[in-house]
Amino acid sequence: MKPNYTYKMFQKDISTLVKKIKKSGEKFDYLLAISRGGLVPGVVLSHKLNIPYLVPITWSSEEHPKILKCYNAWIPQEISRGKRVLLVDDILDSGLTIASLGEEWIKMCVSNKEVDKNVSVAVLLYNQDLNLMIKPFYGMSFSRRKFRKYINFWWEK
Protein backbone atom coordinates (compact mmCIF):
# COMPACT_ATOMS: atom_id res chain seq x y z
CA MET A 1 0.00 0.00 0.00
CA LYS A 2 1.15 3.52 -0.78
CA PRO A 3 0.87 6.54 1.52
CA ASN A 4 -1.10 8.43 -1.15
CA TYR A 5 -4.67 7.23 -1.46
CA THR A 6 -5.69 8.24 -4.97
CA TYR A 7 -9.05 8.90 -6.57
CA LYS A 8 -8.63 5.69 -8.58
CA MET A 9 -8.14 3.71 -5.34
CA PHE A 10 -11.21 5.44 -3.91
CA GLN A 11 -13.35 4.41 -6.90
CA LYS A 12 -12.20 0.79 -6.62
CA ASP A 13 -12.82 0.65 -2.86
CA ILE A 14 -16.25 2.30 -3.12
CA SER A 15 -17.21 -0.29 -5.74
CA THR A 16 -15.98 -3.08 -3.43
CA LEU A 17 -17.93 -1.63 -0.49
CA VAL A 18 -21.14 -1.35 -2.52
CA LYS A 19 -20.83 -4.98 -3.67
CA LYS A 20 -20.16 -6.26 -0.13
CA ILE A 21 -23.00 -4.27 1.43
CA LYS A 22 -25.51 -5.27 -1.27
CA LYS A 23 -24.41 -8.91 -1.01
CA SER A 24 -25.02 -8.84 2.76
CA GLY A 25 -28.67 -8.00 2.15
CA GLU A 26 -28.63 -5.47 5.00
CA LYS A 27 -30.90 -2.44 4.63
CA PHE A 28 -30.21 0.83 6.41
CA ASP A 29 -32.45 3.66 7.58
CA TYR A 30 -29.59 6.12 8.09
CA LEU A 31 -26.10 6.57 6.77
CA LEU A 32 -23.98 8.43 9.34
CA ALA A 33 -20.80 9.93 7.89
CA ILE A 34 -18.14 10.81 10.45
CA SER A 35 -16.72 14.27 9.82
CA ARG A 36 -14.35 14.88 8.18
CA GLY A 37 -12.92 11.68 6.74
CA GLY A 38 -16.21 9.86 6.32
CA LEU A 39 -18.00 12.68 4.51
CA VAL A 40 -16.69 11.99 0.98
CA PRO A 41 -17.26 8.22 1.05
CA GLY A 42 -20.53 8.78 2.92
CA VAL A 43 -22.04 10.95 0.19
CA VAL A 44 -21.02 8.52 -2.55
CA LEU A 45 -22.30 5.45 -0.63
CA SER A 46 -25.56 7.24 0.15
CA HIS A 47 -26.21 7.65 -3.57
CA LYS A 48 -24.98 4.23 -4.67
CA LEU A 49 -26.88 2.37 -1.93
CA ASN A 50 -29.96 4.60 -2.20
CA ILE A 51 -29.90 5.61 1.47
CA PRO A 52 -31.46 9.09 1.35
CA TYR A 53 -30.95 9.90 5.04
CA LEU A 54 -27.30 10.91 5.04
CA VAL A 55 -26.33 12.52 8.34
CA PRO A 56 -22.90 14.06 8.88
CA ILE A 57 -21.79 13.64 12.49
CA THR A 58 -18.88 15.24 14.27
CA TRP A 59 -16.90 12.90 16.47
CA SER A 60 -13.37 11.90 17.33
CA SER A 61 -11.80 9.78 20.02
CA GLU A 62 -10.50 12.95 21.69
CA GLU A 63 -12.30 14.54 24.64
CA HIS A 64 -15.68 15.81 23.42
CA PRO A 65 -17.36 19.09 24.22
CA LYS A 66 -20.94 18.74 25.49
CA ILE A 67 -22.28 20.26 22.27
CA LEU A 68 -21.13 17.22 20.26
CA LYS A 69 -22.83 14.83 22.65
CA CYS A 70 -26.09 16.80 22.45
CA TYR A 71 -25.85 17.08 18.67
CA ASN A 72 -25.69 13.30 18.31
CA ALA A 73 -28.23 12.51 21.07
CA TRP A 74 -31.06 11.52 18.72
CA ILE A 75 -29.02 8.68 17.15
CA PRO A 76 -29.11 6.22 20.09
CA GLN A 77 -32.83 6.82 20.43
CA GLU A 78 -33.32 5.78 16.80
CA ILE A 79 -31.07 2.74 17.26
CA SER A 80 -33.08 1.67 20.32
CA ARG A 81 -36.24 1.93 18.18
CA GLY A 82 -34.75 -0.62 15.80
CA LYS A 83 -33.54 1.77 13.10
CA ARG A 84 -30.56 0.43 11.18
CA VAL A 85 -27.49 2.63 10.90
CA LEU A 86 -24.51 2.43 8.54
CA LEU A 87 -21.63 4.35 10.12
CA VAL A 88 -19.07 5.47 7.52
CA ASP A 89 -15.50 6.69 7.95
CA ASP A 90 -12.43 6.84 5.75
CA ILE A 91 -10.23 4.54 7.82
CA LEU A 92 -10.59 2.17 10.75
CA ASP A 93 -7.05 2.37 12.06
CA SER A 94 -6.85 2.23 15.87
CA GLY A 95 -10.58 1.65 16.35
CA LEU A 96 -10.80 4.44 18.95
CA THR A 97 -13.23 6.69 17.07
CA ILE A 98 -15.77 3.92 16.45
CA ALA A 99 -15.34 2.47 19.96
CA SER A 100 -15.75 5.83 21.72
CA LEU A 101 -18.83 6.68 19.66
CA GLY A 102 -20.42 3.29 20.46
CA GLU A 103 -19.62 3.75 24.15
CA GLU A 104 -21.28 7.16 24.13
CA TRP A 105 -24.41 5.75 22.47
CA ILE A 106 -24.55 2.96 25.05
CA LYS A 107 -24.35 5.56 27.85
CA MET A 108 -27.23 7.41 26.20
CA CYS A 109 -29.73 4.52 26.46
CA VAL A 110 -28.74 1.94 23.88
CA SER A 111 -27.65 -1.54 24.97
CA ASN A 112 -24.65 -3.41 23.56
CA LYS A 113 -27.11 -5.81 21.97
CA GLU A 114 -28.92 -3.00 20.12
CA VAL A 115 -25.65 -1.51 18.87
CA ASP A 116 -24.42 -4.92 17.69
CA LYS A 117 -27.74 -5.63 15.94
CA ASN A 118 -28.55 -2.21 14.45
CA VAL A 119 -25.20 -0.56 13.68
CA SER A 120 -22.84 -1.57 10.89
CA VAL A 121 -19.57 0.10 9.95
CA ALA A 122 -18.18 0.79 6.48
CA VAL A 123 -14.69 2.13 5.83
CA LEU A 124 -12.45 2.52 2.83
CA LEU A 125 -9.38 1.22 4.69
CA TYR A 126 -9.34 -1.32 7.50
CA ASN A 127 -6.38 -2.12 9.76
CA GLN A 128 -6.55 -5.91 9.82
CA ASP A 129 -4.35 -6.02 12.94
CA LEU A 130 -7.25 -4.83 15.09
CA ASN A 131 -9.00 -7.33 17.30
CA LEU A 132 -12.52 -5.89 17.21
CA MET A 133 -15.87 -7.39 18.06
CA ILE A 134 -17.32 -5.90 14.88
CA LYS A 135 -16.29 -6.86 11.39
CA PRO A 136 -16.68 -3.78 9.19
CA PHE A 137 -17.46 -3.61 5.52
CA TYR A 138 -14.22 -2.37 3.96
CA GLY A 139 -12.72 -1.58 0.59
CA MET A 140 -9.11 -2.50 1.32
CA SER A 141 -7.33 -3.94 4.33
CA PHE A 142 -3.78 -3.27 5.43
CA SER A 143 -1.47 -4.18 8.30
CA ARG A 144 -0.44 -1.25 10.49
CA ARG A 145 2.43 -3.41 11.76
CA LYS A 146 3.81 -3.51 8.22
CA PHE A 147 2.66 -0.11 6.99
CA ARG A 148 3.37 2.70 9.44
CA LYS A 149 3.10 5.76 7.20
CA TYR A 150 0.36 8.35 7.38
CA ILE A 151 -2.20 7.88 4.60
CA ASN A 152 -2.89 10.97 2.48
CA PHE A 153 -6.39 10.84 1.02
CA TRP A 154 -6.88 12.59 -2.34
CA TRP A 155 -9.56 14.92 -0.96
CA GLU A 156 -7.15 16.28 1.68
CA LYS A 157 -4.98 18.02 -0.92
In the chain, where the domains are located: 4-156
Span 102-126, mean pLDDT?
82
Q: Among residues of the chain, what percentage have pLDDT more than 70?
A: 89
The pLDDT of residue 69: 54
pLDDT bracket for residue 67 (50, 70, 90): very low
The verdict on whether omega for the bond into residue 148 sits within 30 degrees of 0, i.e. cis, is no
The answer for residues whose C-beta is within 8 angstroms of residue 109's C-beta and 6 or more apart is 76, 77, 80
Q: Is the CB of residue 84 less than 8 Å from the CB of residue 27?
A: yes
pLDDT, tens digit, 9 for 90 and up, residues 37-65: 999 999 999 999 999 999 998 876 666 55
Specify the CATH number of the domain 4-156.
3.40.50.2020
Rounded Cα–Cα distance for residues 48 and 154 (Å): 20
